[in-house]
Amino acid sequence: MSSVAQRTNNRVIPLLDAAANLFATRGYRETTIRDIATAVDMLPGSVYYHFESKQALLLAIYEEGVSRISSRLERAIAGETDAWQRLGKATEAHLVTVLDQSDYARVMIRVMPEHVPGIESDLILLRSKYEDRFVELIDALPLQEHVDRRLLRLMLLGASNWAQIWYRTDSTPVREISKAFIDFLRLPLAAETANDESGRDC
């Protein structure tokens, strides 16, 4: 059954939701098909009717997670033309998804591809498909030639993903955090540019 058909199947949606919740809270390895079946009041055999294995379930959860976060990102940057603003809005959308504690987002952060060798390449492809959007956004920035854009992307996404550990709902608003992240990247460039201009005036 295709992922599109699965998402439109009324029995599969609760199944995916339950599996995502269990993978996010208990862990992928610790969760059994029987656990998932019990959560949705199914027999284990009924789960296998929709998904041939626990790995197939995880793959479908990843697909749904990537679809959700990608859609939120695209809505956030729609109509924006400034490269820094686009990256800022994309970062905010990413942070919102990480911090809203969606089970699908938590699975993508908690269950790394190397944890599931049988579908490792499929999971990496899905993660890369999403992260490639940040590659494009960062490639569009007016950065100095010596800046390693790959490391910059990894640093930005790593800091954003880690926010689920330290963020508190009564702390700085997400929009201000995403703005600060972008300013941390942008200000050194602005300072270097200012120094260059000062040198030309001498």
Alpha carbons 161 and 30: distance in angstroms, whole number: 23
CATH of the domain at 68: 1.10.357.10
83 in any annotated domain: yes
Residue by residue, DSSP assigns 111-147 as S-GGG-GGGHHHHHHHHHHHHHHHHHHHHTS---TT-
48 in any annotated domain: yes
In the chain, the N- to C-terminal Cα span, in Å, equals: 69
Residue 163, pLDDT score: 85
DSSP type of residue 18: H
Alpha carbons 91 and 73: distance in angstroms, whole number: 8
Q: How many domains does the chain have?
A: 1
24 in any annotated domain: yes
Q: Which residue has the higher pLDDT, 4 or 112?
A: 112
* Greatest pairwise CA separation for the chain in angstroms: 79
Tokens encoding 1: 């059954």
The 10s digit of each residue's pLDDT in 71-103 is 999 999 999 999 999 999 999 999 998 888 789
Alpha carbons 31 and 122: distance in angstroms, whole number: 20
Tally Cβ neighbours within 10 Å of residue 52: 11
94 in any annotated domain: yes
The 10s digit of each residue's pLDDT in 154-200 is 999 998 988 888 888 777 888 999 999 999 888 765 445 545 545 55
For 109-132, give one letter per residue: b (16+ CB within 10 A) or e.
eebebeebeebeebbeebbeebee
154 in any annotated domain: yes
Which range of residues forms the domain containing residue 53?
Answer: 3-192
**Do residues 153 and 131 touch, judged by C-beta distance below 8 A?**
yes
The 10s digit of each residue's pLDDT in 114-155 is 999 999 999 999 999 999 999 999 999 998 888 899 999 999
pTM: 0.80
126 in any annotated domain: yes
> Whose CA is closest to 76, among 134, 140, 153?
134
Residue by residue, DSSP assigns 169-188 as TTSS-HHHHHHHHHHHHHHH
Tally Cβ neighbours within 10 Å of residue 162: 12
Alpha carbons 8 and 25: distance in angstroms, whole number: 25
157 in any annotated domain: yes
200 in any annotated domain: no
